[in-house]
Chain A
């Protein structure tokens, strides 16, 4: 066969994405020839790609197609790391929503419309959202409503409203509902005061009611031949944009958001640790670094001095949000902040358990940073050191890890309210557990602290 389908690309019959010899291609099927040619001829593709809103592509020969239905084959620029909406912070989801609506606005101005508005059509590159589905565009049929309106509300507006007016953790509902949070569920979860807000009343509460009311009614008899003007569509898109933009969330007050300003390092210890980390990474010269427990990304930025791509994972939504805001504000490239609970990492899921990749499937990284993390996993979550070592050896080829002993004030804090049931949590126990899956390349004490920094390489036997 020689090609391999990208698992999440099968719902749209107009084409699909696949790889051949490690290169990414998108096939456009003959059935979509006319809309696609019209899209290219309209200038919309050029406008969006030039302005960095849509992934650029180049056309390649049909000999690279994956099936006989091919009319054209595109080679899109590759996105560094595929991430999913349930891994984004509030601001990232908001930015992705704004991009989708801006693209729909520009499409309408040129007589086109987005055929879908899935949050999975957006990826992040250099802190900015990028639309990646080149086949989402079709000529606007005058009088027709926007078919992706409900999808936009479920993928973007409702999750943002829940996160903003209820609890930031409601963003994790996107992990269970990969086609967006059901509107009736969201309507029930939103505070009563949201009924008094016109945009929420229309797009969520009444929308949820209408879905139930007309569930057994054919479109023709329900809409009675009504038509939608282009101005009506633009007004709707503008209101969705205003409603999305008005939502806010203050990224503070969570457990880890202020950690960088509230840890037990002296300035000298911090500098020493930073130098050691950069020194280790320079020797490894990785292309990709995953910073696990990155907080607001201080060491991700140190890693970025060495590696072209750093994924800055943290469990805390406020830390990820602050990290994202900094990346965006400073125009930093090569750093992607993402939400990740390492004790329950994003699984492979969706159709056949393969539509969305697990974190592990998207690795291994060339190098992992696990700084000030081990005590939270081993003591805070009762994870045996040996199991931590095994998992890390599966997701990274090299590892820079900090061992935080029981004498450290942060570990003492973890043991304040519980008995110490961790007799193996010692420097020797740590080295023994990790030696099974890693070769230790170097060990250094971190000056001004009781902590140790290790550089290791995976033995590749983590399974």
Chain B
């Protein structure tokens, strides 16, 4: 390492990576839940026996 990363920048980087990772996980979880409920609850048309 030949450039000075500076303490403040390293601290902020930990915070930023943490926040962004949590948001990314939350986003993935939301997508997974959406897919799950889509599988669980068939569309209205199917209840009525329509294609």
Contact = CB atoms under 8 A, between A and B. Distances in A.
| Pair from one complex | yes
Given A211-B8, A212-B8, A217-B7, A145 B2 contact: no
Q: Is the interface of A mostly helix, strand, loop or mixed?
A: helix
B12 A206 contact: yes
Interface in A198-234: 198, 202-203, 206-207, 209-215, 217-219, 222-223, 226, 228, 231-233
A214 B19 CA distance: 20
A194 interface: no
Interface string A338-376: 000000000000000000000000000000000000000
Interface size on B, as a range, is 20 to 34
Given A202-B19, A228-B13, A147 B8 contact: no
Interface residues of A, number: 39
A285 B48 CA distance: 79
A222 B11 contact: yes
A241 to B, nearest CB: 12
Given A11-B2, A115-B2, A147-B1, A203 B16 contact: yes
Interface in A236-255: 236, 239
B21 to A, nearest CB: 5
Nearest to B7: A214
A4 to B, nearest CB: 23
B20 to A, nearest CB: 5
Given A206-B15, A232-B18, A149 B2 contact: no
Interface in B6-51: 6-21, 23-24
Minimum-distance CB pairs A-B, first 8: A210-B8, A214-B8, A150-B9, A211-B8, A232-B17, A147-B5, A210-B12, A214-B7
Given A202-B19, A202-B20, A222-B8, 8 more contacts: A145-B5, A148-B3, A150-B9, A207-B9, A215-B7, A223-B7, A228-B14, A236-B13
Interface of A: 11-14, 115-116, 138, 145-151, 198, 202-203, 206-207, 209-215, 217-219, 222-223, 226, 228, 231-233, 235-236, 239
